[in-house]
Amino acid sequence: MLNQSQSLDLAFQALADPTRRQIVERLTREPVSVSELARPLTMSLPAVMQHLAVLEASGLVRSAKSGRVRTCRINPEALSLAEQWISERRSEWEHRLDRLGDYLATLKTEGDVDGQDS
C-alpha cells in the first residue's frame, strides 16, 4: 500500500501544475514528440523537458527515443490509479450524503407527524 500511496502522491503533485495537465491532456489523444508538445506552449524546450521529467518521474508519462526524436505517451495505468482513488472518495461522500438525506427526510416526516398531533 505504501508504494501505491507514493505513486498517488507523485501523480497528484505532477498534475498540480497547469502546464503538466495541458501536456497530459495532449498525450491522451495520441503519442507525440517532445517538439510537438512544446510547440503550443509559451516556454523554452528545456522548460518543457523539465515538466516532462516530472511527469515521467510520477509514472504518468513514458517516453522513448528513436534516433533524434523522443516520443512521449501517456501511461494509462498511472492515470487509472489516480482515477480509482478519486472514485473511491466520491463513493464514500455520495454514501454519506445519501445517509444525510435519509436522516433529513426522517426528521421532516417526524416533524410533519408531530405537527399534525398538535
Report the distance separating Cα 58 and Cα 12, nearest Å.
9
Contact 57, 10 (CB under 8 A): yes
Please list the pLDDT of the chain residue by residue as tens digits (118 residues).
446 788 889 999 999 999 999 999 999 999 999 999 999 999 999 999 999 999 999 999 999 999 999 999 999 888 888 888 889 888 888 888 888 888 888 888 887 766 555 4
Give the list of residues 6+ apart from residue 54 with CB closer than 8 angstroms, or none.
13, 14, 17, 20
Q: What is the pTM of this model?
A: 0.73
User: What is the second-level CATH architecture of the domain 2-75?
Assistant: Orthogonal Bundle (1.10)
Contact 19, 43 (CB under 8 A): yes
Per-domain residue ranges for the chain? 2-75
